[in-house]
Structure 1
Amino acid sequence: MQEKVRLDKWLWAARFFKTRALATAAIEAGHINLNGERAKPARLLKIGDVLHIRAPHGHFEIEISLLSDQRRGAELAQTLYQETCASIEKRAREQFAKALQPQFDHPQVKGRPTKKWRRQLSALDHAVIQSREE
């Protein structure tokens, strides 16, 4: 392990992003805050730094516990940081709320709707119109 590592390399090594390019893009877009401030990709990290990460798979608030610029397995990557209790609870609430939201996707959507699906949509439209007239 090293004493200092670039922010974009560490985010990639800790498996928050699949590529360094994606990590760099997220940093430049302002989705990563280091110790409460906006950071640049080449910023050097130290053990104990606090990161706020807004990634497609969730929002994280973490404290860096180890430094590495090599991408390893997921279990080893999770040892590089400690997520705060508040962050864990917040992500759990967000996942629960997302699970409760209704899903409007048709399970067989692959391009244009089939004839059967168009008939179902038409029947639904007619039922909605009739309920409004009543």
Structure 2
Amino acid sequence: MRIDKYLWSVRYYKTRSKATDACKKGHIKVGEQPVKPSREVYPGDHILVRKNQIDYQLEVLDLPPNRVGAKLVDIYRKDNTPKEAFEHSELLKYSKEYYRKKGTGRPTKKDRRDIDDYLEDSDTP
């Protein structure tokens, strides 16, 4: 089975064309080598999928006949992704909340006063 079809079948990508694009961009690796979408996948292969800044590590257990339901995905793959990868994505989410949201415009008077107070506090040793 082609790797793009496999990743679509086990629900890592919503469409097969998105899985194909990920292969072409080099986000999919088998054995540390970037692969083309037409590469054949066999049971026992280790796949590295880079998606949403997380490196998913998969092991192919069996090949599905077609796209399978979410409850049946674990029959065909084993997810070996370390928990640290998911914790890192949580930290990224929190760091983004610190900054002003896009489209909120210029700082208000209160925001400006808070910024000035912060800068005055940081200038004193």
Q: TM-score range by the shorter chain?
A: 0.7 to 0.9
Structure 1 length normalisation: TM-score?
Answer: 0.74
Percent identical pairs in the alignment equals 25
RMSD: 2.4
* Unmatched runs of 5 consecutive residues or more in structure 2: none
Aligned counterpart for 1:111 among listed residues 103, 110, 114: 103
User: Which 4+ runs in 1 deviate beyond 6 A?
Assistant: none
The code of the aligned residue for 1:93 comes to E
Question: How far apart are residue 55 of structure 1 and its match?
Answer: 1.3
What runs of 5+ residues in structure 1 fail to find an aligned partner?
A: none
Helix, strand or coil: the match of 2:119? helix
Q: Say yes or no: does 1:29 pair with 2:21.
A: no
Q: TM-score, normalised by structure 2?
A: 0.78
Count residues with an aligned counterpart. Answer: 121
User: What is the one-letter code of the residue matched to 1:104?
Assistant: Y
Would the alpha carbon gap of residues 131 and 110 (structure 1) be closer, same or farther in structure 2, given more than 3 Å must change?
closer
Q: Which residue matches 1:121? A: 111
Letter in 1 for 2:110: Q
Deviations 1:58-85 (A, max 9, x none): 212221112125222211123211123x
Q: Tell me, in whole angstroms, the C-alpha distance in 1 between the residues paired with 2:28 and 2:49.
A: 5
